Structure 1
Amino acid sequence: MIPVVMCVDDDDMVQVLSEIMLNDTQFCSKIIQLQDGKFACDYFVEQMAKPAAEREMPQLIFLDINMPVMDGWEFLDVFANDYQSLHQQIKIIVLSSSVNPLDEAKANNHPLVLSFVPKPLTIEYLETLKNHPAVANYFH
């Protein structure tokens, strides 16, 4: 089980459904839910200000693309530039309702993104994800 998963999405219903799926599959111990990329950036600033032993960092982030204030692409830019020390320990999956094939291609080609997944999160996808080399060590 992954200790901490972060869900960054402005859609409350997606947040509720994701929480249900993550709990039903016993995917993680804790879920951090944030409304947009700015809140996620603020979270990392707050955590990095703490001593290392007190930080609560996610091991996986489900990131929406289209959000107000700061979208997923902007968050990825900040995370890529400001948090290089976290790149190895934190994996990112773009979870989006975008039907634009360019968004999927951009996500799949981004060096910090494991994959692009259409909303909503499903039990089948989470069960498959448990076998992905980037997170399988948490489940086997």
Structure 2
Amino acid sequence: MKSILLVDDDETTNLVNSFFIRQLDSSLKVNNVNNGKEAIAFLEKASPSEDLPCLLLLDVNMSVMNGWEFLDVYTEKFGGRFEKDVVIVVLTSMDIDDNAMAMTHPSVAEMIQKPLSDIKFRALVTKHFFSD
């Protein structure tokens, strides 16, 4: 793992998540953006060898462009180009509709209930990056 992109319009959530991610692995580069539109712009400019995140943590409820709108644009714009490189995990409060949408979207690897914790993050990293 080299870098993570946090996509959430709550600055406090981004700050807390960045802090504990860096506590777990100080070598990780943590970038954050405030909405799906900024995430698309970040990915368009990302260099695969340096800035492309291996993990994208996506909030659902955001202004400007929410998580579902982001996923639609992401799929349209990038298709399967980042499929093997970027693991997308939806972070949201537990909502039955969100859960159903997340689990059926082809770009979403997993859905985790907010708040993200160090235990949840460790399990996520182990599952997607260190499992056999």
TM (normalized to structure 1)?
Answer: 0.85
Equivalent residue in structure 1 for 2:86, among 86, 90, 112 = 90
Distance of 2:30 and 2:38 partners within structure 1 = 15
**Structural RMSD (CA):** 1.9
1:62 alignment counterpart: 57
The alignment partner of 2:41 has SS state of: helix
Equivalent in the alignment of 1:21: 20
| Aligned sequence identity (%) | 28
Task: Please list, as runs of the form range in 1=range in 2, the aligned pairs for 1:1-140 lying within 5 A after superposition.
Answer: 2-26=1-25, 29-47=28-46, 55-84=50-79, 85-97=81-93, 99-132=94-127, 134-136=128-130
- Matched to 1:83, the amino acid is F
For structure 1, the 5+ residue unaligned runs are: none
Question: Per-residue deviation at 1:89?
Answer: 0.7
Q: Quick one: higher RCO (CA 8 Å, sep 6+), 1 or 2? A: 1
The answer to whether the 8 Å contact 1:8/1:62 transfers is yes
Letter in 2 for 1:38: K
CA 1:77 to 1:122, structure 2 compared with 1: closer, same or farther past 3 Å? same
SS at match of 1:69: coil
Q: Does the 8 A contact of 1:27 with 1:126 survive in 2? A: no
For 1:119 and 1:28, locate their aligned partners in 2 and report how far apart those are by CA, in whole Å.
Answer: 24
Alpha-carbon distance, 1:56 to partner: 1.4
Residue-by-residue CA offset, 1:3-33 (whole Å, 9 max, x unaligned): 0100000001111111122112217610010
Partner of 1:33, secondary structure, is strand
Q: Which runs of 5+ in 2 are unaligned?
A: none
- Distance of 1:83 and 1:27 partners within structure 2: 30
Q: Which runs of 4+ in 1 moved over 4 A?
A: none
Give me the whole-angstrom Cα distance separating, in 1, the residues matched to 2:107 and 2:130: 17
Aligned residue pairs, count: 131
Query: 2:21 is matched by which residue type in structure 1?
Result: L
